[in-house]
Structure 1
């Protein structure tokens, strides 16, 4: 996983953008929210992946896991918002 605040912002930006590209649709916010969703996805992946036995030692695996985490968060957001209306 990334080191330092700039590393988290970078992985958050990349993972958030990739997550929104993979799951297009109406989602909240602009670039800041995209970065925050990506960072939250990276944190989610950082906690869940080791418990599943997934090694995140390479950069590619970290970005892939963060992207999957961002996609999961976007899916949960859409599920919650669809039930609200």
Structure 2
């Protein structure tokens, strides 16, 4: 139970940092910010394992979670405003 709570808190913080670092007008609420941070962690883990940075089952670092969330925000903004 504590692992899930820790993952939600870290996901929220990673999502907030990604939204603060990446410029743009994102109207995301609390739950979407948590989802952004958690999804960023999954994306960073997928890319890191593909590049050989992480082994299977190894957790992704906090900074990589933020970078993954920034990547998701970048893609979201490009799909939302393709100009």
User: For the superposition of Structure 1 and Structure 2, which TM-score range results when normalised by the shorter chain?
Assistant: 0.7 to 0.9
Structure 1 runs, 4 residues or longer, greater than 2 Å off: 55-58
CA contact (8 A) 1:11 1:66 kept: no
Q: Structure 2 stretches of 5 or more lacking a match?
A: none
CA RMSD of aligned residues (A): 2.2
- State the Cα deviation string for residues 41-66 of structure 1 (Å, max 9, x = none): 011111111221224868xx610110
Query: What number of residue pairs does the alignment pair up?
Result: 80
Higher helix share: 1
CA contact (8 A) 2:8 2:38 kept: yes
Q: Structure 1 stretches of 5 or more lacking a match?
A: none
Matches within 5 A, 1:1-85: 4-55=3-54, 62-83=61-82
